[in-house]
């Protein structure tokens, strides 16, 4: 077991954003990093749901936008993120997931941070590997646990090792659907990567490694940049 320790290392705010395709393991890594640095894992989905539930003025705008089938625009999304980042649990930093998604949002985030360091991590996995990885994923019809099946068997005759239920592939994990999801990802991620790539705090991590190695690489990247920030 080589799960990294939960001990909080040296001082310094940890403001992190993750960029990575569906199937890159970004969600798993986000949870680990948030726990390790004791920072909130803030996803835009959670922000939108919380705003609607709270019934604030911004929440009413979100509800109206979503009800009309529209996308929440840059200005509204930015206002929501600004309000979320003003909450006291972000005193030690934050991990933002799903924001920014546009250059306008990235510029707004720089503005919100007012020069505070932002660590940007790209978890990079080639498209073919994602299609293969998600194609091997099955969900149990009975207990809903998600698991991988071996490529050789193609999962045809496998049953759930936990409850014996039937393993099925989610519609979202079908190769054609995955290719479309990857194209959507590329259309917003490529401009963002270009926006951040020249910064010293930008790091690209090989997401083909084992999850524990990806975590170790993330921690090494974050620690090297927060140390620099703490000295300033």
Query: Which residues contribute to the site for Zn ion (CB under 5 A)?
Result: 140, 142-143, 160, 162-163, 165
CA gap 152, 187 in Å, rounded: 33
d(CA 146, CA 39) in angstroms, rounded, equals 27
* 3-state DSSP helix/strand/coil % of the chain, to nearest 5: 50, 15, 35
Catalytic (active site) residue 181? yes
Does the annotation count 137 as an active-site position? yes
Shortest distance, position 155 Cβ to Zn ion, whole Å: 13
26 is annotated as an active-site residue: yes
Q: What residue has token string 């592939």?
A: 169
Contact 167, 140 (CB under 8 A): yes
Active-site residue, from 26, 32, 36, 226: 26
| Closest to 109 measured CA to CA, from 11, 204, 19, 10 | 19
Write down the catalytic residue from 49, 101, 132, 169: 101
Q: Shortest distance, CB of residue 210 to Zn ion, whole angstroms? A: 25
Catalytic residue among 49, 132, 137, 213: 137
Angle at the Cα of 12 from the Cα atoms of 9 and 14, rounded to 5 degrees: 90
- Provide, rounded to whole angstroms, the least separation between the CB of residue 146 and Zn ion: 10
Catalytic residue of the set 53, 60, 170, 179 = 170
| Minimum distance, C-beta of residue 164 to Zn ion, in the bound complex (Å) | 7
Residue spans of alpha helices (H) in 86-197: 103-113, 127-135, 175-196
Catalytic machinery residues: 26, 101, 137, 170, 181
């Amino acid at each position: 077991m080589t799960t990294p320790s939960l001990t909080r290392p040296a001082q310094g705010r940890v403001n992190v954003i993750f960029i990575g395709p569906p199937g890159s393991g970004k969600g798993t890594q986000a949870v680990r990093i948030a726990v390790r640095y004791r920072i909130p894992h803030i996803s835009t989905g959670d922000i939108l749901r919380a705003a609607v539930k709270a019934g604030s003025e911004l929440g009413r705008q979100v509800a109206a936008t979503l009800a009309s089938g529209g996308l929440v625009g840059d200005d509204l999304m930015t206002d929501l993120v600004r309000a979320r980042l003003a909450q006291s649990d972000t005193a030690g930093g934050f991990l933002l997931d799903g924001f920014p998604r546009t250059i306008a949002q990235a510029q707004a985030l720089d503005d919100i941070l007012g020069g505070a360091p932002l660590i940007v991590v790209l978890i990079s996995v080639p498209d073919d590997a994602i299609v293969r990885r998600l194609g091997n994923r099955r969900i149990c019809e009975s207990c809903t646990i998600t698991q991988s099946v071996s490529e050789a068997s193609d999962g045809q005759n496998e049953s759930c090792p936990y409850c014996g239920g039937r393993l099925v592939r989610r519609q979202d994990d079908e190769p054609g659907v995955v290719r479309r999801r990857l194209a959507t990802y590329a259309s917003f991620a490529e401009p963002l990567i270009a926006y951040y790539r020249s910064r010293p705090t930008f790091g690209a991590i090989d997401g083909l490694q084992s999850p524990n190695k990806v975590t170790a690489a993330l921690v090494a990247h974050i620690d090297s940049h927060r140390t620099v920030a703490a000295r300033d």
